[in-house]
Amino acid sequence: MSLGHWLNSLTFLDHVIIILFFGLSCLLSWVTLTSMQTWYSKNQGSDKYVKHFRITPFAFLGVAIIYTFIIYRLIGPLLRNLANSALG
């Protein structure tokens, strides 16, 4: 199944869950990249030839999408079952 078919087969509740997971994943992505930036700066010290570690939107969103996919695959079915049992 391709990504487009998979997205079209999702229910409204699945889309809401993915959006919430993406918000959580953005937070985790920011924490991950900030931690990497701090670790890199600490390891390089005060070297004047060191490259500056920047958090770019591409890296931020790339890590967030990976986190979203992992979280959705781990927790999504559980939340969907809970919501379906509560709604009907």
Q: Where are the alpha helices (DSSP H) in 9-56?
A: 12-44
pLDDT confidence of residue 14: 77
The yes-or-no verdict on residue 88 having pLDDT over 70 is no
pLDDT confidence of residue 72: 81
Q: Which position has the token pair 């999702």?
A: 10
Helix (H) and strand (E) counts for the chain?
3, 0
What's the CA gap between 24 and 63, in Å, rounded? 12
CA angle centred on 53, ends 47 and 55, rounded to 5°: 165
Provide the residue count of the chain. Answer: 88
Q: Which residue has the higher pLDDT, 81 or 87?
A: 81
The yes-or-no verdict on residue 87 having pLDDT over 80 is no
